[in-house]
């Protein structure tokens, strides 16, 4: 089973008034295991972000000005999500924006390219009625660290949501298969609950850290100052 956890960032709240997608982050799950085959785009929306949206994602017009337009990434994006089950937190929002982008290019709506769309926000409301079900609240509820999340980001939020979704649906590791000749009276073979695989943390190499620093330096030049990602790292650094 191939699933894609997806998140977008946008210039504002309403695609009908011209707001556009500026970032897409996708995290792949294969049989409920993170594969590392992720997809991430920054996109030039050809317009400024609204002040409120900019405060959320921190992606300035200047930073996005040399990024590809949606038309340049749409084929790779469609190939990546094709026929997969898509998991989105507050799916109507993201799907509405993707539909608007597809419509500008004369393409069918987003759901026609994928197998299914699951709204994890609606799922959370059903599991936890009357409680806060934002991504941050769910991270707290399931013990998933989001201390590094001071700004929203498509790939970061998709990675957090993937962990939240696996925690919310952990009972799906216990399956009942209807097979003739089973041991139970109803002919079903029951499988015991299997533990999730251990999370493997691989430290960055010196070469990778050097490449990361080069990217940060490029971002600093583009914003003519200190980029938000460097500020975030400095804020989290322990006092000397």
For tokens 């799906």, the residue is 172
For tokens 């294969």, the residue is 30
Mapping DSSP onto H, E and C, the string for 149-199 reads CCCCCHHHHHHHHHHHHHHHCHHHHCCEEECCCCCCCCCEEECCCCCCCCC
Active-site residue set: 152
**CA dihedral (112, 170, 122, 159) positive or negative:** negative
| Closest alpha carbon to 158 in 34, 58, 51 | 34
Q: What is the radius of gyration, based on Cα positions, of the chain?
A: 20
Contact by Cβ (8 Å): 194, 173? yes
What are the φ and ψ backbone dihedral angles of 54, each rounded to 5 degrees? -60, -35
């Amino acid at each position: 089973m191939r699933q894609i956890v997806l998140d977008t960032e946008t210039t504002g709240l309403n695609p009908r008034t011209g707001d556009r997608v500026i970032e897409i982050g996708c995290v792949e799950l294969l049989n409920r295991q993170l594969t590392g085959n992720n997809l991430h785009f920054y996109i030039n929306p050809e317009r400024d972000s609204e002040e409120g949206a900019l405060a959320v994602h921190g992606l300035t017009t200047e930073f996005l000005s040399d990024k590809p337009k949606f038309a340049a990434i749409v084929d790779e994006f469609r190939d990546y999500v094709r026929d997969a089950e898509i998991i989105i937190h507050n799916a109507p929002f993201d799907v509405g924006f993707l539909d608007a982008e597809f419509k500008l290019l004369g393409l069918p709506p987003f759901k026609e390219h994928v197998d299914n769309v699951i709204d994890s926000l609606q799922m959370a409301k059903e599991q936890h009625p009357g409680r806060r079900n934002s991504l941050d609240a769910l991270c707290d509820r399931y013990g998933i660290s989001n201390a590094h999340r001071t700004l929203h980001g498509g790939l970061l939020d998709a990675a957090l949501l993937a962990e939240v979704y696996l925690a919310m649906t952990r009972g799906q590791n216990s399956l009942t298969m209807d097979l003739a000749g089973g041991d139970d009276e109803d002919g079903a073979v029951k499988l015991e609950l299997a533990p999730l695989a251990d999370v493997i943390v691989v430290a960055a190499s010196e070469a990778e850290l050097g490449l990361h620093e080069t990217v940060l330096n490029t971002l600093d030049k583009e914003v003519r100052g200190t980029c938000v990602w460097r500020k975030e790292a400095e804020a989290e650094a322990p006092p000397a």
